[in-house]
Amino acid sequence: MKIGIIGAMQMEVDNLKEAMENQTTECVSGVNFVSGNIGDVEVVAAVCGVGKVFAAICAEAMILKYNPDMVINVGVAGTLTKDLSVLDVAVASDVFQHDMDTSALGDPVGLISGLNQIYFPTDEKMKNLLCDCLRDKGINYVTGPIATGDLFMHDPAKKAQVRSDFRAIAAEMEGGSIGHVCTVNNVPFAVLRSISDGDGGAMDYQTFAEKAAVVSIEIVLDFISRL
């Protein structure tokens, strides 16, 4: 069993690396991939960088070079629902790209041309196991669609629009493109986001991002122990 783990920022994977044994590091397509073991599970982890293109580059390179059996995208997000507060967790049922827009051609907003779909479903078994970990730890979580786009979403009107149009529970900048790449390559994937910002937007993020990133990695370590 080999699991790939992708975070957007260094703080999102630092704690994971501390748990890995027999580490090796290799740079592929400008991304540093750290391989090793956590218990009996092979792990390859990477910091992809912020935004959809960096995330897609990382996911494709990871899949082609290391052939993981599954991929988890971890990190932080802003909440789009009153049911999630700072340091709660969003678990994706689906991911989508809210800034993909060919509606001028008659398409619905979010449609990925060529694949003819808006939502990329996460793997049901992976999602359920993540929820089990959260439930056992007593961490409040919500499952639902997670929105991805190349902007830090802080405007209340934009948040309300994405929530209304897509039923989204959280917004971030990588999961939708990683889900896109995994779907094209037939690799099961999951997306886990600890909430770093609510109505406070950027101010909340600066205060809570590091703590939120630690929460997401703790859940992933528990997930790995249960595989």
What positions carry a catalytic annotation?
12, 197
DSSP-derived 3-state class of residue 186: coil
Phi, psi (rounded to 5 degrees) for 20: -90, 140
DSSP 167: -
Provide the sign of the torsion angle of the four alpha carbons 211, 216, 217, 222, taken in this order: positive
55 token code pair? 């995330």
Whole-angstrom distance, CA of residue 161 vs CA of residue 168 = 10
CB atoms within 10 A of CB 70: 18
- The DSSP bridge pattern shows strands 89-97 and 120-121 to be antiparallel
* Strand intervals (E) in 102-216: 120-121, 141-148, 170-172, 189-197
Cβ-based burial of 2 (10 A; exposed 0-12, middle 13-18, buried ≥19): middle
- The DSSP bridge pattern shows strands 31-38 and 21-28 to be antiparallel
Whole-angstrom distance, CA of residue 197 vs CA of residue 217 = 17
